[in-house]
Structure 1
Amino acid sequence: MVLTVLEPEGMYPDTALEREVLGPGVRVLQAHAAGSLAEVPDSVCEQVEGLFIFRLWLPAEQIARFPRLRVVVRMGVGYDRVDRAACAARGIAVCNVPDYGTQEVADHAVSLALALRRGLFLHHELQREGPSPVWRYVDSKLIRRAEVQGFGILGLGRIGTAVALRAKAFGFRVGFFDPYLPNGVDRALGITRFRTLPELMRHSDVLSIHAPLTRTTRGLVDAAALRELPRDAVVVNTARGPILDIDALEQAMRDGHVAGAGLDVLPVEPPVDPVPNLLAEYRARAPWLRGRLVVTPHSAFHTPEAWDDIRLKSAETMRDVLVEGLRTNVIPPEAD
């Protein structure tokens, strides 16, 4: 029996690698959906046993259009784009690719933290007072020595661990909060474990978010949590936008409790009008935000090597689960 797999987003110019990895018993179809799976014809959906998802969302109404679907591979770490409850009701396995882009995202997170804490975004132009440029530094509460700062990591998975090692190498006092990890991780890495979120926040002159988006983490870093940070803290989010309350972040930045923020992820991507007020101010180059906020377009993972990894590891995961019946990277239905 020939199995059928669909890659609906046209991410790569051909399906040669997927066909090689999946083997001769699998037919690989490639569609070019512009905005949603709704654009894939029913005649194609009816054939599909395996589905690759990258940018597109897979809600329950689209899952229903795939009567033979057995495996969904989310081509990335996060799996919040997939309605896992609807998949579980049908016995459809949902997988992710947790081991790609780790180095890139960790580098990006630490780069944002360092750039903010060294005031690099404050020096966007030569200042002028009179007819000639003034060559001088800028005083800012952003600028601190690494060794006097606590670096807090929310979520110590693969990426969080990579960030911890990088931050430790720069001299930060590194700590983390992750209630799902067994004891002993802190000793192995030489960092501090905090038992509660408020304890982590009080430690964190720099807070770096690396948790998945789940029912328990949505809105976790809210106004109350931000107020637990030391004054003049920096917040970095390279995980998922809805974990951080962006309106609460704006207020904390306006009154000076948070000195700066680096955001690679937003509550809605790409942002659509009406955008959160913090983003509107950023677009308008509001003077109060100058040098204090940097936004990147969910690009922390982006390198040619990471794109290659996404493709290969997604195909290998599909092969393991759909063809060979293994449980590689399967997300438990009961996971938050």
Structure 2
Amino acid sequence: MGVRISLDDLRELIVRALTNSKVADDIAGVVADALVAAEADGIASHGAARVPPYAEQALCGKVDGYARPTIERSARAVINVDSNIGFAFPAITLGVEAAVEAVKETGMVALGISHSHHFGVAGHHVERLAEAGLVGMAFSNTPSAIAPWGGKTALYGTNPIAFAWPRPDTPPNDAPLVIDLSVSTVARGKVVLAEKQGTPIPDDWALDTDGKATTDAKAGLAGSMAPLGGTTAGAKGAALGMMIELLCGALTGSNFGYQGSSFFEPTGAPPSIGHLILVFDPNVFGGAKNFAARGEALFSEILAQEGTRLPGDRRLTLRQTAARDGVELPDALHADLIRRAG
């Protein structure tokens, strides 16, 4: 059983829960928008379930709920935003808005975000770019969860990657193509949810502290997440994890995954991880005259095969349903939000 709630009511509940937890009103609104959007898309691991750890970390100062991001354009095509140990979403919003303007001059922009917190749903950030007619890629590192291939101790984060491609002539809603994945077999948040619910996990999701595949969520959290490719063929996934650590940790001047503390626990220093967002104006590349049509040609070939679909189709269907019918929260989570909201 659960509690069904409209998206507007959920947003209000989250804002109140956060403002009661040492988060500024406007920042709470930006964070709530991100969490409600995740919930609407069926990504519960990145939705309202994040409010309790966000609130606890704001209360203890692990994330600064009053921090304002600062921005610097260090080169014509490079923008740096410092989250200043605050929530990621205000920094992302500030940086993306600046990048959309800058790319009109430069054709390409790299946006680095440093000293940040949980990236949320990576696909949402690049979707915003594609809605502006741009092509976007996004990367983030996270606290360590994946061991180097052949190792047993987690060093890399689950490190999401997202890509969005504009589809300006695709009725009824012109929704962009969005690809969103992490370099682990699944997002760590799904294992956290399984551990809380006491349910087993598939045997290719995680490894225990001995580096062996496990169906026990608690053992998996104590060990490491399986990289893309699973528990037996994850070398390439682990290599991608290392690449993103360099892009988001070393390049932005932020922590590596093994240096950042948990997004879930109210103990330890701020995670202080980094993000990198790449923005491309398709109108300045060689295929500018027909880039959209070329993309649609590929999509048509894909969909001509029985059993296929484009990435993100399920997300759009769930989003439409949630806008109409709201979303269902677990009873315990709803009660927690009510308590925090006061």
TM-score range, shorter chain: under 0.3
Higher relative contact order (CA 8 A, sep 6+): 2
Larger radius of gyration: 1
Normalised to the residue count of structure 1, the TM-score between the two structures is 0.24
Higher helix share: 2
